[in-house]
Protein backbone atom coordinates (compact mmCIF):
# COMPACT_ATOMS: atom_id res chain seq x y z
CA UNK A 1 0.00 0.00 0.00
CA UNK A 2 2.66 2.50 1.08
CA UNK A 3 4.92 1.69 -1.89
CA UNK A 4 2.01 2.22 -4.29
CA UNK A 5 1.30 5.63 -2.75
CA UNK A 6 4.94 6.69 -3.11
CA UNK A 7 5.01 5.62 -6.79
CA UNK A 8 1.81 7.59 -7.46
CA UNK A 9 3.29 10.68 -5.79
CA UNK A 10 6.51 10.41 -7.84
CA UNK A 11 4.54 10.00 -11.09
CA UNK A 12 2.41 13.11 -10.45
CA UNK A 13 5.33 15.29 -9.34
CA UNK A 14 7.20 14.19 -12.50
CA UNK A 15 4.23 15.31 -14.55
CA UNK A 16 4.29 18.75 -12.88
CA UNK A 17 7.96 19.21 -13.72
CA UNK A 18 7.30 18.44 -17.38
CA UNK A 19 4.65 21.13 -18.04
CA UNK A 20 6.24 23.42 -20.69
CA UNK A 21 5.86 27.20 -20.50
CA UNK A 22 3.46 27.26 -23.47
CA UNK A 23 0.69 25.44 -21.58
CA UNK A 24 0.83 28.06 -18.85
CA UNK A 25 1.11 31.00 -21.36
CA UNK A 26 -1.90 33.26 -21.86
CA UNK A 27 -3.40 32.65 -25.32
CA UNK A 28 -3.47 35.56 -27.78
CA UNK A 29 -6.95 36.88 -27.31
CA UNK A 30 -9.34 39.81 -27.33
CA UNK A 31 -8.27 40.78 -30.86
CA UNK A 32 -10.75 43.59 -31.45
CA UNK A 33 -11.30 46.18 -34.16
CA UNK A 34 -11.65 49.55 -32.43
CA UNK A 35 -11.79 51.72 -35.58
CA UNK A 36 -12.82 50.60 -39.06
CA UNK A 37 -10.64 51.40 -42.05
CA UNK A 38 -12.16 54.07 -44.28
CA UNK A 39 -10.91 55.70 -47.46
CA UNK A 40 -13.39 58.61 -47.20
CA UNK A 41 -14.89 60.03 -50.41
CA UNK A 42 -12.69 59.65 -53.46
CA UNK A 43 -13.36 61.90 -56.45
CA UNK A 44 -11.69 59.62 -58.94
CA UNK A 45 -9.06 60.10 -61.61
CA UNK A 46 -10.82 58.83 -64.77
CA UNK A 47 -7.83 56.65 -65.68
CA UNK A 48 -7.97 54.74 -62.39
CA UNK A 49 -5.75 55.16 -59.33
CA UNK A 50 -4.14 53.55 -56.29
CA UNK A 51 -5.06 55.13 -52.96
CA UNK A 52 -2.77 54.35 -50.02
CA UNK A 53 -3.90 54.80 -46.42
CA UNK A 54 -0.97 54.68 -43.99
CA UNK A 55 -1.19 53.35 -40.41
CA UNK A 56 -0.68 56.94 -39.24
CA UNK A 57 -3.93 57.86 -41.01
CA UNK A 58 -2.34 59.81 -43.86
CA UNK A 59 -3.67 59.21 -47.36
CA UNK A 60 -1.91 59.51 -50.73
CA UNK A 61 -2.93 58.94 -54.35
CA UNK A 62 -0.76 57.78 -57.21
CA UNK A 63 -2.86 59.68 -59.81
CA UNK A 64 -5.04 62.75 -59.64
CA UNK A 65 -7.91 61.46 -57.49
CA UNK A 66 -8.95 63.73 -54.63
CA UNK A 67 -9.79 62.30 -51.21
CA UNK A 68 -12.21 64.19 -48.97
CA UNK A 69 -14.48 63.50 -46.02
CA UNK A 70 -13.39 61.37 -43.10
CA UNK A 71 -10.76 58.74 -43.80
CA UNK A 72 -9.08 56.64 -41.12
CA UNK A 73 -6.64 53.81 -40.58
CA UNK A 74 -8.08 50.77 -38.81
CA UNK A 75 -7.24 50.33 -35.13
CA UNK A 76 -7.00 47.03 -33.26
CA UNK A 77 -6.27 45.97 -29.68
CA UNK A 78 -5.06 42.53 -28.71
CA UNK A 79 -3.94 40.86 -25.48
CA UNK A 80 -1.32 38.21 -24.80
CA UNK A 81 1.67 37.32 -22.66
CA UNK A 82 3.32 40.41 -21.23
CA UNK A 83 6.61 41.49 -22.86
CA UNK A 84 6.27 38.69 -25.41
CA UNK A 85 6.89 39.06 -29.14
CA UNK A 86 4.03 38.53 -31.58
CA UNK A 87 3.49 38.70 -35.34
CA UNK A 88 0.74 40.33 -37.38
CA UNK A 89 -0.33 39.05 -40.79
CA UNK A 90 -3.21 39.64 -43.16
CA UNK A 91 -5.43 37.88 -45.66
CA UNK A 92 -4.95 38.38 -49.41
CA UNK A 93 -7.37 38.72 -52.30
CA UNK A 94 -9.73 41.07 -50.46
CA UNK A 95 -11.81 43.70 -52.21
CA UNK A 96 -14.42 46.41 -51.69
CA UNK A 97 -17.67 45.71 -53.53
CA UNK A 98 -20.48 48.06 -54.49
CA UNK A 99 -22.35 49.43 -57.51
CA UNK A 100 -19.42 48.96 -59.91
CA UNK A 101 -16.39 46.75 -60.45
CA UNK A 102 -14.90 45.52 -57.18
CA UNK A 103 -11.76 47.30 -56.05
CA UNK A 104 -8.77 45.30 -54.76
CA UNK A 105 -7.76 45.97 -51.17
CA UNK A 106 -4.29 44.86 -50.15
CA UNK A 107 -0.70 45.72 -49.28
CA UNK A 108 -1.63 45.96 -45.60
CA UNK A 109 0.74 47.83 -43.27
CA UNK A 110 0.64 48.31 -39.50
CA UNK A 111 2.10 50.55 -36.79
CA UNK A 112 3.42 47.81 -34.47
CA UNK A 113 6.92 47.92 -36.01
CA UNK A 114 9.25 45.16 -37.16
CA UNK A 115 9.22 43.41 -33.74
CA UNK A 116 5.80 43.81 -32.11
CA UNK A 117 5.74 43.04 -28.39
CA UNK A 118 2.91 42.97 -25.85
CA UNK A 119 3.44 45.63 -23.19
CA UNK A 120 4.08 44.88 -19.52
CA UNK A 121 0.33 44.60 -18.99
CA UNK A 122 0.00 42.09 -21.86
CA UNK A 123 -1.71 44.54 -24.20
CA UNK A 124 -0.95 45.87 -27.66
CA UNK A 125 -2.69 48.58 -29.69
CA UNK A 126 -1.84 49.24 -33.32
CA UNK A 127 -3.22 50.78 -36.48
CA UNK A 128 -3.54 49.24 -39.95
CA UNK A 129 -3.31 50.84 -43.39
CA UNK A 130 -3.79 49.43 -46.90
CA UNK A 131 -3.91 50.27 -50.61
CA UNK A 132 -7.11 50.44 -52.66
CA UNK A 133 -7.04 50.00 -56.45
CA UNK A 134 -9.60 52.08 -58.32
CA UNK A 135 -10.67 50.89 -61.76
CA UNK A 136 -11.30 52.91 -64.92
CA UNK A 137 -14.18 53.64 -64.98
CA UNK A 138 -15.37 53.23 -61.40
CA UNK A 139 -19.12 53.72 -60.90
CA UNK A 140 -20.18 56.20 -58.20
CA UNK A 141 -21.46 54.92 -54.88
CA UNK A 142 -20.63 53.26 -51.57
CA UNK A 143 -18.28 50.31 -51.54
CA UNK A 144 -17.37 48.10 -48.57
CA UNK A 145 -15.57 44.88 -47.80
CA UNK A 146 -13.63 42.90 -45.21
CA UNK A 147 -10.16 41.47 -44.62
CA UNK A 148 -8.74 39.20 -41.93
CA UNK A 149 -5.98 40.05 -39.47
CA UNK A 150 -4.00 37.27 -37.71
CA UNK A 151 -1.99 37.77 -34.52
CA UNK A 152 0.28 34.98 -33.27
CA UNK A 153 3.23 34.50 -30.94
CA UNK A 154 6.45 34.32 -32.93
CA UNK B 1 -0.49 -5.00 -9.26
CA UNK B 2 -3.16 -4.27 -11.92
CA UNK B 3 -4.02 -0.88 -10.38
CA UNK B 4 -0.34 0.08 -10.24
CA UNK B 5 0.08 -0.64 -13.98
CA UNK B 6 -3.02 1.42 -14.84
CA UNK B 7 -1.85 4.36 -12.73
CA UNK B 8 1.63 4.35 -14.27
CA UNK B 9 0.16 4.27 -17.77
CA UNK B 10 -2.10 7.23 -16.97
CA UNK B 11 0.87 9.07 -15.47
CA UNK B 12 2.96 8.49 -18.61
CA UNK B 13 0.12 9.51 -20.91
CA UNK B 14 -0.45 12.79 -19.07
CA UNK B 15 3.27 13.56 -18.97
CA UNK B 16 3.72 12.94 -22.70
CA UNK B 17 0.78 15.19 -23.54
CA UNK B 18 2.35 17.86 -21.30
CA UNK B 19 5.80 17.58 -22.92
CA UNK B 20 4.39 17.69 -26.46
CA UNK B 21 2.38 20.93 -26.07
CA UNK B 22 3.69 23.91 -28.11
CA UNK B 23 0.32 25.60 -28.78
CA UNK B 24 0.41 28.71 -31.04
CA UNK B 25 -2.70 30.33 -29.42
CA UNK B 26 -3.19 32.50 -32.50
CA UNK B 27 -6.12 34.87 -32.82
CA UNK B 28 -7.78 36.22 -35.94
CA UNK B 29 -10.38 38.94 -36.53
CA UNK B 30 -12.31 40.44 -39.42
CA UNK B 31 -11.55 44.04 -40.30
CA UNK B 32 -14.01 46.24 -42.19
CA UNK B 33 -13.12 48.79 -44.88
CA UNK B 34 -15.16 51.22 -46.94
CA UNK B 35 -14.93 53.97 -49.53
CA UNK B 36 -17.31 56.28 -51.38
CA UNK B 37 -16.57 56.82 -55.06
CA UNK B 38 -17.54 59.98 -56.89
CA UNK B 39 -16.77 60.83 -60.51
CA UNK B 40 -15.91 64.49 -61.05
CA UNK B 41 -17.52 66.43 -63.83
CA UNK B 42 -14.82 67.89 -66.04
CA UNK B 43 -15.89 70.46 -68.65
CA UNK B 44 -13.68 71.58 -71.52
CA UNK B 45 -14.52 74.36 -73.98
CA UNK B 46 -13.58 73.09 -77.41
CA UNK B 47 -14.80 76.10 -79.47
CA UNK B 48 -15.32 79.67 -78.27
CA UNK B 49 -18.68 81.20 -79.18
CA UNK B 50 -18.19 83.65 -82.02
CA UNK B 51 -20.72 86.06 -83.55
CA UNK B 52 -18.14 86.86 -86.27
CA UNK B 53 -18.76 90.20 -88.03
CA UNK B 54 -22.01 92.09 -87.45
CA UNK B 55 -22.69 95.04 -89.75
CA UNK B 56 -24.97 96.55 -87.18
CA UNK B 57 -28.39 98.12 -87.58
CA UNK B 58 -27.81 101.72 -86.36
CA UNK B 59 -31.00 101.51 -84.28
CA UNK B 60 -29.56 98.60 -82.31
CA UNK B 61 -30.49 94.93 -82.69
CA UNK B 62 -30.83 91.56 -80.95
CA UNK B 63 -28.63 89.03 -82.70
CA UNK B 64 -29.33 85.33 -82.18
CA UNK B 65 -26.68 82.67 -82.63
CA UNK B 66 -28.21 79.19 -82.46
CA UNK B 67 -26.53 76.11 -80.98
CA UNK B 68 -26.32 74.90 -84.58
CA UNK B 69 -24.19 77.93 -85.44
CA UNK B 70 -26.62 79.89 -87.62
CA UNK B 71 -27.00 83.64 -87.06
CA UNK B 72 -29.97 85.99 -87.51
CA UNK B 73 -31.45 89.14 -85.94
CA UNK B 74 -34.73 90.89 -85.39
CA UNK B 75 -33.56 94.13 -87.05
CA UNK B 76 -31.63 94.90 -90.22
CA UNK B 77 -28.08 93.94 -89.19
CA UNK B 78 -26.18 91.84 -91.74
CA UNK B 79 -23.49 89.29 -91.08
CA UNK B 80 -20.19 88.14 -92.53
CA UNK B 81 -17.38 85.83 -91.55
CA UNK B 82 -17.93 82.47 -89.91
CA UNK B 83 -20.06 82.48 -86.75
CA UNK B 84 -19.63 79.54 -84.38
CA UNK B 85 -21.64 78.18 -81.48
CA UNK B 86 -19.71 77.49 -78.27
CA UNK B 87 -18.76 73.79 -78.08
CA UNK B 88 -18.09 71.85 -74.88
CA UNK B 89 -17.06 68.30 -74.02
CA UNK B 90 -17.73 66.94 -70.55
CA UNK B 91 -16.79 63.77 -68.65
CA UNK B 92 -18.46 62.28 -65.59
CA UNK B 93 -20.27 59.25 -64.22
CA UNK B 94 -21.34 56.94 -67.05
CA UNK B 95 -25.08 57.15 -67.87
CA UNK B 96 -25.75 59.76 -65.16
CA UNK B 97 -28.37 62.43 -65.88
CA UNK B 98 -27.22 66.03 -65.59
CA UNK B 99 -28.61 69.55 -65.65
CA UNK B 100 -27.05 72.35 -67.69
CA UNK B 101 -27.28 75.96 -66.53
CA UNK B 102 -25.71 79.28 -67.50
CA UNK B 103 -24.61 82.46 -65.83
CA UNK B 104 -26.55 85.71 -66.14
CA UNK B 105 -25.45 89.31 -66.52
CA UNK B 106 -22.64 88.59 -68.97
CA UNK B 107 -21.49 91.12 -71.53
CA UNK B 108 -19.07 91.58 -74.40
CA UNK B 109 -16.85 94.59 -73.82
CA UNK B 110 -14.74 96.59 -76.27
CA UNK B 111 -14.36 100.07 -77.74
CA UNK B 112 -18.00 101.02 -77.16
CA UNK B 113 -20.85 100.35 -74.75
CA UNK B 114 -20.91 96.81 -73.34
CA UNK B 115 -23.32 94.49 -75.13
CA UNK B 116 -25.48 92.11 -73.07
CA UNK B 117 -24.94 88.40 -73.75
CA UNK B 118 -27.66 86.03 -72.55
CA UNK B 119 -30.64 83.77 -73.28
CA UNK B 120 -28.32 80.81 -73.72
CA UNK B 121 -29.52 77.74 -75.61
CA UNK B 122 -27.94 74.31 -76.03
CA UNK B 123 -28.43 71.16 -78.10
CA UNK B 124 -27.99 68.54 -75.31
CA UNK B 125 -31.75 67.94 -75.38
CA UNK B 126 -34.39 67.81 -72.65
CA UNK B 127 -32.71 65.02 -70.65
CA UNK B 128 -28.97 65.45 -70.98
CA UNK B 129 -26.87 62.58 -69.64
CA UNK B 130 -23.41 61.11 -69.89
CA UNK B 131 -23.14 58.20 -72.32
CA UNK B 132 -22.01 54.73 -71.23
CA UNK B 133 -18.42 55.88 -71.51
CA UNK B 134 -19.07 58.88 -69.26
CA UNK B 135 -18.89 61.48 -72.06
CA UNK B 136 -21.23 64.31 -73.09
CA UNK B 137 -20.73 66.95 -75.79
CA UNK B 138 -22.99 69.89 -76.58
CA UNK B 139 -23.06 73.25 -78.35
CA UNK B 140 -24.23 76.58 -76.96
CA UNK B 141 -25.94 79.55 -78.62
CA UNK B 142 -26.96 82.92 -77.19
CA UNK B 143 -28.48 86.33 -77.87
CA UNK B 144 -26.29 89.42 -78.18
CA UNK B 145 -27.88 92.86 -77.68
CA UNK B 146 -26.23 95.38 -79.98
CA UNK B 147 -26.78 98.97 -78.81
CA UNK B 148 -27.82 101.81 -81.07
CA UNK B 149 -24.82 103.28 -82.91
CA UNK B 150 -22.58 100.61 -81.42
CA UNK B 151 -18.95 101.69 -81.86
CA UNK B 152 -17.12 99.52 -84.40
CA UNK B 153 -14.34 97.22 -83.21
CA UNK B 154 -13.62 93.91 -81.49
CA UNK B 155 -15.66 92.94 -78.44
CA UNK B 156 -15.17 89.93 -76.19
CA UNK B 157 -16.36 88.52 -72.90
CA UNK B 158 -17.05 85.37 -70.92
CA UNK B 159 -19.98 83.33 -69.58
CA UNK B 160 -20.19 80.29 -67.33
CA UNK B 161 -21.79 76.98 -68.14
CA UNK B 162 -22.52 74.66 -65.17
CA UNK B 163 -23.07 70.92 -65.50
CA UNK B 164 -24.40 69.19 -62.40
CA UNK B 165 -25.56 65.71 -61.48
CA UNK B 166 -29.34 65.63 -61.11
* DSSP letter assigned to residue B67: T
* Interface contact B134, partner A, CB < 8 A: yes
Residue A106: the pLDDT is 98
Q: Do B23 and A32 touch (CB under 8 A)?
A: no
Which residues have a Cβ under 8 Å from the Cβ of A52 and sit 6 or more positions away?
A: A59, A60, A61, A62, A107, A129, A130, A131, A132
Question: Minimal Cα–Cα distance from B28 to chain A, Å?
Answer: 4
C-alpha to C-alpha distances, A43 to A31, A71, A100, A105, nearest whole angstrom: 34, 13, 15, 18
Using a 10 angstrom Cβ sphere, with 0-12 exposed, 13-18 middle and 19 or more buried, the burial of residue A93 is: exposed
As a whole number of angstroms, the distance between CA A108 and CA B24 comes to 23
- Report which of B89, B102, B107, B119 is spatially closest to residue B146, judged by C-alpha positions: B107
Residue of A nearest to B17 (CA): A19
The Cβ-side half-sphere exposure at A120, using a 13 Å CA radius, reads 0
ipTM for the assembly: 0.85
Average pLDDT over residues A80-100: 96
Better-scored residue on pLDDT, B55 or B3:
B55
pLDDT confidence of B22, banded at 50, 70, 90?
Answer: very low
User: What does the pLDDT average to over B151-158?
Assistant: 98
> Mutate which of B11, B31, B93, B136 to disrupt the A interface (most A C-beta within 10 Å)?
B31
Burial class of residue A108, CB neighbours in 10 A (0-12, 13-18, 19+): buried
Q: Does position A77 have pLDDT exceeding 80, yes or no?
A: yes
Answer yes or no: is pLDDT of B118 > 70. yes
Helices (DSSP H) in chain A: which residue ranges? 2-17, 21-24
- Reported pTM: 0.65
| Cβ within 8 Å, pair A76-B23 | no
pLDDT digit string (tens) for A14-52?
444 555 555 567 789 899 999 999 999 999 988 999 999
Q: Which residues contact A70 (CB under 8 A, 6 or more apart)?
A: A38, A40
Across A98-112, A116-130, B8-22, least confident range: B8-22
- Tell if the CB–CB gap between B39 and A74 is shorter than 8 Å: no
| pLDDT winner (highest mean) among A44-53, B5-14, B46-55, B92-101 | B46-55
User: CB of A153 within 8 A of CB of A28?
Assistant: yes
* Cα dist from A64 to A43, B38, B47, whole Å: 9, 13, 26
Q: Which of A84, A92, A94, A138 to mutate to test the interface with B (most CBs of B within 10 A)?
A: A138
pLDDT of residue A27: 85
The residue-averaged pLDDT of A114-140 equals 95
Amino acid sequence: MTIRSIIILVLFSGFLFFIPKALLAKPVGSLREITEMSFGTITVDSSGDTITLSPSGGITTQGTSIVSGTYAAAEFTVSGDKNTAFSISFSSGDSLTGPGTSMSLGSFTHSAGTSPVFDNKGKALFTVGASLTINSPQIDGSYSGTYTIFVDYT
Amino acid sequence: MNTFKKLSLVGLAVASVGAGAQYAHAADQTGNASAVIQNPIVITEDTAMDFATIIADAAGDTVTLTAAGSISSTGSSTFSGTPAAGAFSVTGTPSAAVTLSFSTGDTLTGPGTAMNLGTFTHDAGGSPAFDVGGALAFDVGANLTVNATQTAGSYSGTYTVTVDYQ
